Structure 1
Amino acid sequence: MLLTSDRFLQTIESTPLVAIDLIVANAEGEFLLGYRLNRPAQNSWFVPGGRIRKGETLDHAFRRIVHDELGYSDLSRANAELFGVYEHLYEDNVFGAPGVSTHYVVLGYRLRYAIDARAFPKKQHSAYRWASASQIKGDANVHVNTRAYFTTDMPAI
């Protein structure tokens, strides 16, 4: 069941949201970034990801997010490994409502194999790019919450 905008804003104001972020590599060892269209983290480079919905299993959420963000319908959590649990704190919210911050608890998953170059969906991101871990760490246009995934050396695929 999807919430009305008012009810969802109330939820954002009252509780942390749970999300899955995808750390996606290509065959060259670069990582996928999308330029965010929506708040929070609007107008910055970010890894693909999305919220888990109430009543949705982690497996279903993972499949839906991979499909919505990457256009793949055949990947499951078995194709990824849990990279870590992170907190993302934002001063704004998806609606731009003043005075309402957003708190995410994020499960970062790294896909276990390289993703092919393709035309990724443009619903959440206006553009995509591949970047090395060192490029990501040094780029102020990459959101700080995404840079946090690359603070240590990334293991090879």
Structure 2
Amino acid sequence: MNLFQALECLEQHIPAPSEGLPDDVFYFISRMTPLVNVDLLLKDEQGRTLLAWRDDPYAGQGWHIPGGIVRFKETFAERICKVAQSELGCTIEFDPEPVAINQLIHKERDTRGHFISLLYRCRIPAAYIPQNAQYLPGERGYLQWHDTCPDNLIVYHEIYRDYI
């Protein structure tokens, strides 16, 4: 099989890339080009920041700002809304322009090694209470309000410490 045939095969097996990619394909692409992601800076009326627990081989363990990778032909606004629904279970409002744009490069790793991250200031409904029924503290996806920035922020989100 030559390269052209291999690419044709991939296209046949991924009919809707805008809905996401199989992990193996996603990881391959992440070794070829930067990934663009949006991060949601969620503050309540008391100035607390909503963070999620993360635990995976690429980012390690710690608190992080909820976010997600922009899909093919998806706008930043669409990804922000989808992250809010999938990770928080609610709709949010957000400023149309990011408050920060950062390039993150992991020098020792190729897979998921280069990101362009856009941080958006978001507003969450005043009555919002994290719905953690399916999670225990310390489990991936657990949500918690923070008065100050926790010490155990994932290393990639240290760039956001002053915002939290």
How far apart, CA to CA, are the structure 1 residues paired with 2:124 and 2:143?
19
SS at match of 2:144: strand
For residues 14 and 23 of structure 1, do their structure 2 counterparts lie closer, same or farther at Cα, with a shift above 3 Å needed?
Answer: same
What RMSD over aligned residues (CA atoms) do the two structures have, in Å? 2.9
Task: Determine which structure has more spread, i.e. the larger CA radius of gyration.
Answer: 2
- The correspondence of residues 134-145 of structure 1 with structure 2, limited to 5 A, is 135-136=148-149, 139=151, 141-145=152-156
How far apart, CA to CA, are the structure 2 residues paired with 1:89 and 1:3?
22
Of 37, 46, 53, which aligns to 2:55? 37
Of 86, 89, 111, which aligns to 1:71? 89
How far apart, CA to CA, are the structure 2 residues paired with 1:101 and 1:46?
16
Identity over the aligned pairs, expressed in percent? 25
Partner residue in 2 for 1:96: none
**40-49 or 83-92, which moves further after superposition?**
83-92
How far apart, CA to CA, are the structure 1 residues paired with 2:104 and 2:129?
28
Matched, 1:19 2:34: no
Q: What are structure 2's unaligned runs of at least 5 residues?
A: 1-16
How far apart, CA to CA, are the structure 1 residues paired with 2:79 and 2:21?
17
How far apart, CA to CA, are the structure 2 residues paired with 1:113 and 1:3?
29
Q: What are structure 1's unaligned runs of at least 5 residues?
A: 94-98
How far apart, CA to CA, are the structure 2 residues paired with 1:24 and 1:92?
31
Partner residue in 1 for 2:161: 150
Give 1:62 deviation, angstroms: 1.5
Partner residue in 2 for 1:87: 103
Counterpart code for 2:92: L
How far apart, CA to CA, are the structure 2 residues paired with 1:62 and 1:121?
23
How far apart, CA to CA, are the structure 1 residues paired with 2:122 and 2:111?
33
How far apart, CA to CA, are the structure 1 residues paired with 2:145 and 2:55?
18
**Does structure 1 conserve the Cα–Cα contact (< 8 Å) formed by 2:87 and 2:141?**
no
Counterpart code for 1:111: C
How far apart, CA to CA, are the structure 1 residues paired with 2:161 and 2:38?
16
- Structure-1-length-normalised TM-score: 0.73
- Structure-2-length-normalised TM-score: 0.71
